[in-house]
C-alpha cells in the first residue's frame, strides 16, 4: 500500500536531481509542473500543430516509425498513427517490474516533457503527474526493451495506461484495468494527437531510473561494507595500522580508498581487541581480504561516483526523437541510445560483485579454524554437535557466485531490430535489471558477514570491541541472538538483511563515528 508523503518535487525546464528521483520513486513525493515548464510545453506544441496540419514530411508527425519512416501518413490518420504506435509497442512479457522502477520511469519521462523539447500538449504531461500523485502504477513487464530507441516497450506500457487501456496497480496495490483506476481518481484518459505517442516512448528513462536507484543503494552498502570489514578485522585479530591516514592520501590519492580507509580507522578506534595483539611480532601482515579492504571498497566508491556523474548528465538531458528545437525545427537524432547509461550499469555490477566477493573471503576465514586465529570451527557453540554458521557461508558463496555471473556485461551485446533500421542497440535495460539483482544479493552477502563477524567478536572473551562496532552489535542483537546452540538460521539472516536495508546498521555506527562516509 502506498504511503502518503509531504514532499513535493517542482518540475521546471531544467533537469532533476538524484534526490528528486528517489523522492518520487520511493517516497511518493507529489509532482508539480512549474509555470515555466507549462509555458515551454505550450509554446513548442504550436510548432507541432503547424507541421501536423501541413504536408511537409516530419518523422513521427506525418510519417511512420522506424523502418516505416518513409511512409507518408494522411492528415486524417495521424491521430490513429499515435494510438497504433503505443498499442503495438506495448509488447512486453514477463513479471511486472517493481513499483519504484515504474514511478521513476514515469517521472523521468515527464521530466523530459517539461523541458519543452518534445512537442506534447500540456494536458498530456499533466496526466503523467496525476498518475504519480494518485499512486497509480502501470503494469510494465520485465522483458521488451533493447535500450534503443530508448526503453520503448516499458514506456509504451505506461503510455497505454494513460490512454485508459491496459492494467495498473492502484494506490493500494490492487491490480485493475487502467480505466477503472483513472475513473476512481478522477483522471481522464489521454486522446493522443500528432507526435505525442512517439514523445512518450523515446527515452532512456527506465534504465536511468534504475541507475539512480542503484547508485543510491550501493553508496549506502559501501558504508555497510566498511562496517562489516572492521568487525571482521576485530574478529580475526587483524590490525588497524594499515588504515592509518599517512598510508593513503599521501601515497595513493584515490578518493574512494581514502574515504574507506578513514572509515575503517575510525570504526576500529579504541578497540580492546585490536590493542590486545598490537605488539605481536609473529603476525607480520593480514590477509588481503582484511588489509586491502579500503582499496577494494574504495574502488567501488569511485565507480559509483563515475556512474553518478553519467547519471547526473542524463538527468539534465531532454531525450526524444525527433526533438523540437527552440526555433521550431524538428530534428531527428540518436540521443535515445542507451550506451552511456548501459556501460556504467555494467561497470557497477562488476564493482558490486567484487565487493561481495571480498566480504565472503573474510567470512570464510572466520569459520576456518586453521585461519581464524583461535576461533572455534564454524563459530559453533559446541563444534561437532553444532554446525554453527557453516551453511551460512554456503549461502553467501552461492550469492557471490550468482553475482559473478550477473556481472557479465549486457552492453557488449547487440541484436538488430526493426528491419535493420535499429541495427545497434544498447541493452541498457537488461544491464539495469541484472544490476538490481546484484545489489539485492550484495545486501544479503554483507548481512551474512555482519552476523558472522559479530559472533566472532563475541568469542573473543574478555576483550572489548571498538565502541563503534559494539554499537552495531547491540543493534544486531535486538533481532539476532548471539552465541548458542544451533537454531533455525534463515530468519536470523533475513533479519540482518532487513537491518542493513533499513539503515540501522549505519545509524548505529554513526552514533560513535559521526562523520562516517
How many whole angstroms separate alpha carbon 440 and alpha carbon 302? Answer: 20
3-class SS string, 443-499: HHHHHHHHHHHHHHHHHCCCCCCCHHHHHHHHHHCCCCCCCCCCCCCHHHHHHHHHH
Instruction: State the Cα torsion 22-408-411-213 to the nearest 10°.
Output: 0
How many whole angstroms separate alpha carbon 92 and alpha carbon 352? Answer: 28
Phi and psi at residue 412, to the nearest 5° = -80, -10
Which 8-state DSSP code applies to residue 159? H
Rounded to 10°, the helix 18-27/293-314 angle is 90
DSSP E strands in 40-159: the ranges are 93-96, 137-138, 141-143
- CB atoms closer than 10 angstroms to residue 60: 29
Q: Reply yes or no on whether 59 is catalytic.
A: yes
Considering the candidates 47, 51, 59, 128, report the single residue annotated as catalytic.
Answer: 59
- CB atoms closer than 10 angstroms to residue 387: 16
Which CA distances in Å does 65 have to 61, 85, 88? 9, 8, 12
Please compute, for residue 265, the number of CA atoms within 13 A of its CA located in the half-sphere on the CB side.
Answer: 16
DSSP E strands in 178-240: the ranges are none
Find out whether 41 and 113 touch, Cβ atoms under 8 Å: yes
Cell numbers given for 338: 542507451
Query: Which residues are bridge partners to 63 per DSSP?
Result: 72
How many whole angstroms separate alpha carbon 458 and alpha carbon 240? Answer: 19
Q: Which of 393, 358, 356, 399 is nearest to 378 (CA)?
A: 393
Beta-sheet pairing, 30-33 with 8-11: parallel
How many whole angstroms separate alpha carbon 4 and alpha carbon 208? Answer: 25
Cell numbers given for 98: 517493481
Which 8-state DSSP code applies to residue 514? T
Which CA distances in Å does 53 have to 47, 142, 388, 408? 10, 38, 75, 49
Cell numbers given for 112: 523530459
Q: Which of 81, 51, 46 is nearest to 66 (CA)?
A: 81
Active-site residues, by number, are: 59
Amino acid at each position: 500500500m502506498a504511503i502518503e508523503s509531504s514532499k513535493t518535487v517542482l518540475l521546471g525546464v531544467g533537469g532533476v536531481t538524484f534526490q528528486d528521483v528517489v523522492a518520487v520513486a520511493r517516497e511518493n513525493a507529489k509532482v508539480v509542473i512549474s509555470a515555466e515548464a507549462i509555458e515551454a510545453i505550450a509554446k513548442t506544441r504550436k510548432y507541432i500543430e503547424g507541421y501536423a496540419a501541413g504536408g511537409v514530411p516530419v518523422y513521427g508527425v506525418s510519417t511512420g516509425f522506424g523502418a516505416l519512416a518513409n511512409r507518408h501518413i494522411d492528415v486524417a490518420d495521424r491521430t490513429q498513427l499515435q494510438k497504433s504506435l503505443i498499442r503495438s509497442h506495448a509488447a512486453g512479457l514477463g513479471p511486472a517490474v517493481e513499483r519504484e522502477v515504474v514511478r521513476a520511469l514515469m517521472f523521468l519521462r515527464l521530466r523530459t516533457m517539461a523541458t519543452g523539447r518534445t512537442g506534447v500538449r500540456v494536458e498530456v504531461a499533466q496526466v503523467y503527474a496525476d498518475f504519480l500523485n494518485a499512486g497509480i502504477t502501470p503494469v510494465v513487464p520485465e522483458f521488451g526493451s533493447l535500450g534503443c530507441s530508448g526503453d520503448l516497450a516499458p514506456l509504451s506500457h505506461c503510455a497505454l495506461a494513460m490512454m485508459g487501456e491496459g492494467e495498473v496497480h492502484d494506490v493500494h496495490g490492487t491490480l485493475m484495468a487502467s480505466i477503472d483506476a483513472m475513473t476512481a481518481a478522477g483522471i481522464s484518459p489521454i486522446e493522443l494527437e500528432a507526435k505525442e505517442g512517439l514523445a512518450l516512448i523515446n527515452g532512456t528513462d527506465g534504465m536511468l531510473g534504475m541507475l539512480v536507484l542503484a547508485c543510491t543503494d550501493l553508496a549506502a552498502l559501501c558504508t555497510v561494507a566498511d562496517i562489516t570489514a572492521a568487525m571482521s578485522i576485530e574478529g580475526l585479530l587483524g590490525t588497524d595500522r594499515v588504515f592509518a591516514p599517512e598510508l593513503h592520501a599521501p601515497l595513493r590519492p584515490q578518493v574512494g580508498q581514502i574515504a574507506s580507509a578513514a572509515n575503517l580507522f575510525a570504526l576500529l578506534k579504541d578497540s580492546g581487541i585490536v590493542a590486545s595483539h598490537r605488539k605481536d611480532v609473529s603476525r607480520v601482515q593480514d590477509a588481503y581480504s582484511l588489509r586491502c579492504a579500503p582499496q577494494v571498497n574504495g574502488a567501488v566508491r569511485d565507480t559509483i561516483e563515475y556512474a553518478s556523474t553519467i547519471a547526473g548528465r542524463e538527468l539534465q538531458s531532454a531525450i526524444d526523437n525527433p526533438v523540437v528545437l527552440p526555433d521550431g525545427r524538428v530534428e531527428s537524432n540518436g540521443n535515445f541510445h542507451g550506451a552511456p547509461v548501459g556501460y556504467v550499469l555494467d561497470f557497477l555490477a562488476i564493482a558490486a560483485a567484487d565487493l561481495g566477493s571480498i566480504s565472503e573471503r573474510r567470512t570464510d576465514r572466520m569459520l576456518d579454524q586453521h585461519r581464524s586465529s583461535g576461533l572455534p570451527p564454524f563459530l559453533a557453540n559446541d563444534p561437532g554437535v553444532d554446525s554453527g554458521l557453516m551453511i551460512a557461508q554456503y549461502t553467501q558463496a552461492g550469492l557471490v557466485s550468482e553475482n559473478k555471473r550477473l556481472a557479465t556485461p549486457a552492453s557488449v551485446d547487440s541484436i538488430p531490430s526493426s528491419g535493420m533500421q535499429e541495427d545497434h542497440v544498447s541493452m541498457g535495460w537488461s544491464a539495469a535489471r541484472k544490476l538490481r539483482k546484484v545489489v539485492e544479493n550484495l545486501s544479503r552477502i554483507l548481512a551474512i558477514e555482519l552476523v558472522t563477524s559479530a559472533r566472532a567478536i563475541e568469542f573473543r572473551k574478555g576483550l572489548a570491541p571498538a565502541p563503534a562496532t559494539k554499537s552495531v552489535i547491540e543493534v544486531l542483537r535486538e533481532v539476532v541472538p548471539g552465541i548458542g546452540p544451533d537454531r533455525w538460521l534463515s530468519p536470523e539472516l533475513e533479519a540482518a538483511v532487513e537491518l542493513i536495508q533499513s539503515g540501522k546498521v549505519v545509524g548505529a555506527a554513526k552514533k560513535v563515528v559521526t562523520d562516517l562516509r
